[in-house]
Structure 1
Amino acid sequence: MSGSAGSRQRRLSDSEGEETAPESRPPLRDRQGAHWKNAMGFWLLGLCNNFSYVVMLSAAHDILRHQRAPGNQSLVDPDPLPTPHSNSSRFDCNSVSTAAVLLADILPTLIIKLLAPLGLHLLPYSPRVLISGGCAAGSFILVAFSHSVVTSLCGVVLASVSSGLGEVTFLSLTAFYPRAVISWWSSGTGGAGLLGALSYLGLTQAGLSPQHTLLSMLGIPALLLASYFFLLTSPEPQDPGGEEEAERAARQPLMSSEAPEESKPDASSTLSLQERWTVFKGLLCYIIPLVLVYFAEYFINQGLFELLFFRNTSLSHAQQYRWYQMLYQAGVFVSRSSLRCCHIRFTWALALLQCLNLAFLLADVVLSFLPSIYFVFLIILYEGFLGGAAYVNTFHNIALETSDRHREFAMAAACVSDTLGISLSGLVVLPLHNFLCQLS
């Protein structure tokens, strides 16, 4: 009951088809130890899974503003001088919006999440995790050694594949564990935002080149694999159908796609298309608000951050952008870790407040009425609070209100919400960027 995730799969291959003798429930101390190992495991999985995605968004301004010359990769100025572009604009615009990096960082994730409920369950969990870790490492290496924006964007795509595949995989995996792990996973993803943005800001601010900063983060994918294969334990009985059935479900190897149906809380591989559609329609009251929240906040992050440029401060344009990203992620981390303190049932309110944030900051971009960058700092921190709260409460509500049979599918289907909102915002922001940058 306390073996690692990797050992569970090995046990299946060694004894496939054999009956497992009944086991007695482990003592309370062992169950408590397993609880904390799983809690820490899911927190680290959330942290590592979203880390590369966040770092690529934090580096978006640098990726688009600076193309390194061959032979000089290790001596890159972490805060390069502006290159000529849109000098007639008061916004100091890049020739391409940072939304281009956002789209490269999110569209592959969207495709994965849209296709995942249809057949991803046929691929066992372990290969998915290995692919996710490999893509994360590849993204850091490719962007670090890139000599062009196009190559850098290819590295960003790898980060997106890693994050998207990992999120679908680990959110589905929570269906095999007590519902409390959702809170730990969400807190970890918030931690990824804060640590990713803060580490990129801190290391570049300290004088380390973007290349060396990215290469120093290669330990994160290794931590992801270690957390999955060596930290997670076998799931606790989920129970409702009786003690004997729960014990049998808990003993089944989790990582194999051939595990008996009763070992899966939802047996999602047996759901008909009609049943999947019915479950999906029931999720719309959660999906739509989350789409709106993420549309508004990423419209702000990748459409307005670059344009919220204050010349009356000691911070350069690139430094202002990094601070915006860090403060946003700080807000996300706090709110994604707040579920035990505050449970929000009606996420529509969060969507409305986030849309008001968007309208206010867009008005400031056009009219420039805020006198100081510190007002923007406070609004961005608040924006992060709303986004993180919407995420953790949405998935917590789904976990509470879906049946055991449907929970794994529901988690995989609902996680498309944030990605869809982000993708839509990127598509809208690209033409808006060009329009605003033409304003004198």
Structure 2
Amino acid sequence: MEGRAGSRRRLSDSEREDTAPEPQAPRLDRRCAHWKNAVGFWILGLCNNFSYVVMLSAAHDILRQERTAGNQSHAVLLADILPTLVIKLLAPLGLHLLPYSPRVLVSGVCSAGSFVLVAFSRSVGTSLCGVVLASISSGLGEVTFLSLTAFYPRAVISWWSSGTGGAGLLGALSYLGLTQAGLSPQHTLLSMLGIPALLLASYFFLLSSPEILDPGGEDEADTAARQPLIGTETPELKKSGSGWNLSLRERWTVFKGLLGYIVPLVLVYFAEYFINQGLFELLFFWNTSLSHAEQYRWYQMLYQAGVFASRSSLRCFHIRFTWALALLQCLNLAFLLTDVFLAFLPSIYLVFLIILYEGLLGGAAYVNTFHNIALETSDEHREFAMAAACISDTLGISLSGVLALPLHDFLCSLP
């Protein structure tokens, strides 16, 4: 008995020795792939929005240098928003006909073209063309990479969002720092041509093949809490295929199911950019050593810092009901708009805190909206749903521009 038991133990030990190393390699490969994908999507988020942020700063500098007549900020805003809006409106209808790799190439080429055009610009029209290219690159890239997250573990959404938040902070800081260090705007822009190259390298060489078996990668708690966003019991959706193999009727059904997340995000961005475009320059304090321009720059920096922090916060906390964020951002807008008329806030530091809070709300709304959509849509609808929901932020920004800029001009004309 002991001999048989001992032989059984020896046999199991030898079997463990033979079989133990085998699971290690896949586990290590999976962990390596996880970090490659995480870093890859962070870099893609950074590069995708980086040129967009830098282009706006550079275009405004060139417009000021040329001392053009009239208010050119409206033209810059249109060149900045309209191409992205058109791309995101058309994306759910036919962008899937173009494979991912050509889309990424187009995005990278447009980003590089925007740097070159604005660097060598000698006219307002050329500068605006550079902003248009940056807008095409950013809009096309956002739709493409958010759709691409449907084939990877859901954790990459957090990394993508963090990268886009970092772009606002690092893009503005790098352009400001290089120009303040003595580089001309032209040489500063040309030195940033490495950003589109980094975007292409991250996509083609850093990302691993999508994990087909476990695209979710969610925790058990998330799995237990998961509820279908779309009524998948309907016959139409049961017959749908994977990816974009959906009829127009099925896409409309999916889109209607997304409205509970799209509408709050539209409201968040409407209130957010109404504050940024219409109120920042009017929130001026005399009882401080900061000049008007310095106060405005502090507002922008604190806003971008708040966005970066909250877009990177998904692993710390998850907000399911994004309607609350929309309500809080609208209250933010009402409070600051009231202060513009009544000037009741005694210190600029209170405004600093409110603007930091504004950025935190906006970033949290973005990352949690797309995380919730990824969590609550079925596998065959996720790619389409992520692309369709991309319209939210751009639509909110566009609506705020329609109202905020005329209001800003009206308030500035008051005696």
Indicate which of 261, 275, 279 corresponds to 1:304: 279
Of Structure 1 and Structure 2, the greater helix share is in: 2
Deviations, residues 158-177 of structure 1 (Å, cap 9, x unaligned): 11100000000000111111
Give 1:312 deviation, angstroms. Answer: 4.8
Structure 1 pair 186–197 and aligned structure 2 pair: CA distance change class (3 A): same
Amino acid at match of 1:391: Y
Structure 1 pair 120–137 and aligned structure 2 pair: CA distance change class (3 A): same
Q: With CA pairs under 8 Å and 6+ residues apart, which has the higher RCO, 1 or 2?
A: 1
Q: Does 1:287 pair with 2:262?
A: yes
2: CA distance, partners of 1:127 / 1:311? 52
Give the conservation status (yes or no) of the 8 Å contact 2:59–2:131: no
2: CA distance, partners of 1:126 / 1:25? 32
Indicate which of 117, 139, 142 corresponds to 2:92: 117
Aligned partner of 2:332 in structure 1 is 357
Q: Does 1:223 pair with 2:201?
A: no
Structure 1 pair 266–331 and aligned structure 2 pair: CA distance change class (3 A): farther
1: CA distance, partners of 2:313 / 2:247? 36
Give 1:215 deviation, angstroms. Answer: 2.7
Q: Does 1:198 pair with 2:173?
A: yes
1: CA distance, partners of 2:285 / 2:58? 19
1: CA distance, partners of 2:204 / 2:257? 34
Percent identity between the aligned chains?
A: 85
Indicate which of 417, 421, 424 corresponds to 2:392: 417
Give 1:274 deviation, angstroms. Answer: 0.6
Q: Which has the larger radius of gyration?
A: 2
Give 1:186 deviation, angstroms. Answer: 0.7
Q: How does 1:22-421 map to 2 (within 5 A)?
A: 27-59=26-58, 62-67=61-66, 95-96=70-71, 98-239=73-214, 267-421=242-396
Give 1:268 deviation, angstroms. Answer: 2.8
Structure 1 pair 64–353 and aligned structure 2 pair: CA distance change class (3 A): farther
Structure 1 pair 122–222 and aligned structure 2 pair: CA distance change class (3 A): same
What SS does the aligned partner of 1:270 have? coil
Structure 1 pair 327–205 and aligned structure 2 pair: CA distance change class (3 A): farther
2: CA distance, partners of 1:44 / 1:162? 15
2: CA distance, partners of 1:176 / 1:294? 27
2: CA distance, partners of 1:411 / 1:25? 34
1: CA distance, partners of 2:389 / 2:318? 18
Deviations, residues 38-88 of structure 1 (Å, cap 9, x unaligned): 1100010001001122223445653543327xxxxxxxxxxxxxx9x9xxx
State the Cα RMSD in Å: 2.4
TM-score, scaled to structure 1:
0.78
Aligned partner of 1:6 in structure 2 is none
Structure 1: tracts of 5 or more residues without a match? 1-23, 69-82, 86-94, 242-264
Give the conservation status (yes or no) of the 8 Å contact 1:38–1:233: yes
What SS does the aligned partner of 2:66 have? coil
TM-score, scaled to structure 2:
0.83
Q: Does 1:433 pair with 2:403?
A: no
Give 1:210 deviation, angstroms. Answer: 3.2
- Between the two proteins, the alignment pairs up a number of residues equal to 370
Give the conservation status (yes or no) of the 8 Å contact 1:197–1:329: no
Amino acid at match of 2:170: L
Structure 1 pair 345–278 and aligned structure 2 pair: CA distance change class (3 A): same
Structure 2: tracts of 5 or more residues without a match? 1-22, 217-239
